[in-house]
Amino acid sequence: MAWMRRSSAAGTAAAQDPLPGFPAPRECASPDDHDAWLALAHAARQGRGRIPSQSSFRVTAIVVYQPPPSFSSQNSSATPPPLRYVVGHNDESWSLANSCCAERAAFLQLGAVRGERRADVVRCVYLVSDAPAPITPGVLCREFMISSRLASPATRIVMEGSDGAPLDRASASSSVTPAGGPKQGQRIARTLGELWPAASPYMRLDAAGMVARGEALRAVVLAAAAAHRDDPAAAASPVPILDAAAWAPAAAAAATTAAGVVARDDAEAALRGAASAATQDGRGDLHPLRLGACAVLAGAGAVTARQYKALEYSCSLDPVAALLAAHHAATGLEAGAEQEARQEPGQEAKAEAAGARVACVAMVDQFGFAHAPMAVGRAALVEHGWGSVPVLFHDPRNGRLAAARATDLVPGIPSWERCAFAV
């Protein structure tokens, strides 16, 4: 296929061309040439010789990027270098956690793009799979891409299923997905900001920068808490649960309306429990950030967990995901509201008697700042029955505390049924 021939030719010129990937083919002159780029992505998906061993489900990502001007001696600073692209495929180990998605596989190739620390190098990401309908990136890929110094919340992801379809221009600019999710024979486009609400204020910072940012956030949170205590009416007021609609932009948390509340006592208990759990992390030698999590049970105390760091960072244990195991160990029950509905007759009443329903969840660092969960934590909540549980987080701009349902933090998450895994 043409893309394979270009790959071979590009390999012979590697010494002269330090940039990763391949020059954009003539038919893909712009990152807006969706038909051409998606045709290239489908050809790459269909041409791969090895099928992922566990899911038998192929996903291919093409990342289109604009090289910094400093990489081209043939272009003036007023004329940007031609577009280039890299191709990523998913692959799997028998150990499910040791698998890699197509989007991360593509982004990892961009490590050679150095120079200016710009956030507009990646112009577009094209994502295709064996599913008939388009699927969105998984949570790990969303978090990884939006954390990249080469991307930004405005970076577009264009998704298409194996059947292909002309681009729905309305869906490309809309923040609302069609009822029931993406349909077969449809193409959708979203930004990273829409796919990853409440992103961490530590994005794109190195370890030392995270500590400095954390100290600054501590001051913001303490000032907001002091002002809150000085206002008798506010001190007793509940924490609003933001009405974040599916595909909500990252900035929507500041403008959405309340869709419920968390009792102030429950929220404060969750923050205290998570902060206490964070102090139990003694591995500052591996990374300076310490994280703890807490789930407050309505009328029945709380359970806590902390991050367990590993020398190889990807082997670390997520504190929010660990809450599910801690809760089960403490109560013997699956706690989420959706999970309770699926239990055997009599189990829901037993759960209520034990106070097992989760009132709220918080993840807090050593600076007292409450973060929306990381990727593994969000997936654990949404995929294991805790989707309706309110998750607390601070606004980094003013230190105010708010909450969102776990499902609203992972808009449009891919479903098993939609992907139609061949297992």
Query: Could you tell me the residue ranges of all domains in the chain?
Result: 2-196, 207-417
Angle at 236 between CA 198 and CA 292, to 5 degrees: 40
Which string of b and e fits 202-228 if b means at least 16 CB within 10 Å? beeeeeeebbebbeebbebbeebbeee
pLDDT attached to residue 416: 59
Say what the pTM is: 0.84
pLDDT given at position 423: 28
Helix (H) or strand (E) holding 228: helix 207-230
Q: Please tell me whether residue 385 adopts helix, strand or coil conformation.
A: coil
Copy the structure tokens of residue 116: 């200016």
Query: What is the mean pLDDT of each successive set of 10 residues along the chain, which is 423 residues long?
Result: 44 54 88 92 91 92 86 58 92 91 94 67 94 92 95 94 61 39 73 94 95 97 90 82 57 52 93 97 93 90 95 95 89 56 49 60 98 96 91 96 93 66 34
Q: What is the pLDDT of residue 68?
A: 75
State the pLDDT at residue 82: 86
CATH of 207-417 given 1.10.10.10, 3.90.79.10, 3.40.190.10, 3.40.140.10: 3.40.140.10
Q: For 254, which DSSP code? A: G
Helix axes 375-383, 139-147, angle to 10 degrees: 160
Task: Report pLDDT for 81.
Answer: 80
Measured between alpha carbons, how far is 177 from 165 in angstroms, rounded to an integer? 16
Degrees to nearest 5, angle at CA 239 with 234 and 241: 145
Query: What's the confidence (pLDDT) of residue 137?
Result: 95
CATH code reported for the domain at 2-196 = 3.40.140.10
